[in-house]
Amino acid sequence: MVQETEHVCGLCDGQGYHVVMVGGTETCPACDGLGVEEEI
């Protein structure tokens, strides 16, 4: 049985964080650092 993979978060590209302009990283607000989008 093939299970569908979790949707990789498009905002952080599945990394769970994104680079901010101030020169650091910030926990992705879209996936809360999980790197995957929650399916509603």
Residue (21 or 28) nearer to Zn ion, CB: 28
Determine the Cα–Cα distance for residues 3 and 26; give it in Å rounded to an integer: 31
Residue (6 or 11) nearer to Zn ion, CB: 11
Query: What separation, in Å, do the N-terminal and C-terminal C-alpha atoms of the chain show?
Result: 22
11 binds Zn ion (CB under 5 A): yes
C-beta of residue 18 within 8 angstroms of C-beta of residue 33 = no
* Residues between 18 and 37 with contacts to Zn ion, criterion CB under 5 A: 28, 30-31
Residue choice 1, 3, 6, 12 for contact with Zn ion (CB under 5 A): 12
8 binds Zn ion (CB under 5 A): no
Structure tokens at 32: 């809360």
